[in-house]
Structure 1
Amino acid sequence: MKKHNTFSIILLTVVAVLALSACGTKPQTNNNAPQGADQPQTQQPQATPEPVAEPQVKKGTGVYNGAADPHTVEIETNGEAQSFQLGEGLDTVIAGLKEGDPVAFEYTEKAVEDDATAKQLTLTKIQKTEASTDSSQNGSSGQQVGGNRAKTQTFELNLEGKKEKQTATLAKGEGYSLYVFDPMSLFPDQNRVALAVDDNYYAEITKLPSNFNLDELQKDGEKDLASIGKVQKLDKAAVPQALTSSRLFLQANGSKITQQYIVVENTTGAFSVKVNIPHGEPAEGFESFIYTSLESLQANK
């Protein structure tokens, strides 16, 4: 009986040891997993596309020579014929032009692939002008237009401190005509003479009725120029020498621009003119040209 009890105790002890060993066993960790499999992925920064530069719009004037094909036209400028691709919507404008029409236009340049010297010219805007800007179109100064004014006339101007002779071409607006120099064009639909290279330099012309009131015009001019700066009325001594026919000359100077309101009167009629002159390199030459042109204003008979 004693042996039986001893055997039972030994058996229970072995079972207990085995049970404790089983509880203390830990599952093995798989260390063979690929390195970094459980690590978060690092996102590479996406490259920001470079902005595409807008093509620079250039301006020019010349003579329309016609269409080479439905998408290409030829314009003679500075004595040289150039081909231009038509921009969107310009086919209807081109349809209204005739060969030999003087035109003002805007265009862009694009380099031609595999040819560093060639450029593709694309028109973005074109319109007929009244005055030819090509000196070869001036004709002789003795040729008459409408029986009373020569097609061209030579004037003496003060340019960059020197006196020069320049030939201008007769142009007709709404109820008037005047001589316009090569750097400028008359746009009859706007009654505006503008510098070809930068049409922010311009003069807007309005033919006045015969019974105009100068005092009322001065009030209108002062009101119109007030947004630019202090309005000054120039006396005769301060008025540009080219404008001997001016009856009124108002001027306002801003930080970036000068505007003028001028009333011109001669034996043919009277006109009010708003002149816009940005502060820039073309200003001096523009003033010499525009004052001489305004002095040549005549009302149509």
Structure 2
Amino acid sequence: MMNSSKRRRSKKAAAAGAVLLAVMLTASACGGNDTTNTGNEQQGSVNNGPVVDLPDESGVIEPDVSSPEPTADTDNNNGAENPPVDPVKMDEGNYTGLIDSHSIEIVTASGALALQITEELAATVENIPPNAKVKFEYTEKAIEGEADFKQNWLVKIEEIK
């Protein structure tokens, strides 16, 4: 007889657990509806995708028509002027050689300078022998996410003979 009472309690516990699980799942499914109003959306509405500003005149965007190009003096910063272009610096030194496949080293009067090179300049740099005297132009560009660190990018280089 003892076995049948344990089975009954076990069945009751399993049934109670199943009911509790079903109630919890139902409550979480019903409670997941976010109805906060975050701007232009109507309460309870679903926003699936980007917000598109339609033209005021017709309310229709024509296919294959892009948005107007920003002018040379301004960009999309509410009419603010574009940030200045990185200034080009000029220097002379002795070309040491490649550091790796995309950077070179030139020893100047101020010390060794590592410069990043583009694929276009790689062919030019390959034709310069090590320890050759060179004249070069470069820019300093900030590293994304690191405002205090800058990379030097080679713009132009030529061997001085």
* TM, length-normalised to structure 1: 0.27
Larger proportion of helix: 2
Between Structure 1 and Structure 2, whose CA radius of gyration is higher? 1
Larger proportion of strand: 1
* Higher relative contact order (CA closer than 8 Å, sequence separation 6+): 2
* TM, length-normalised to structure 2: 0.48
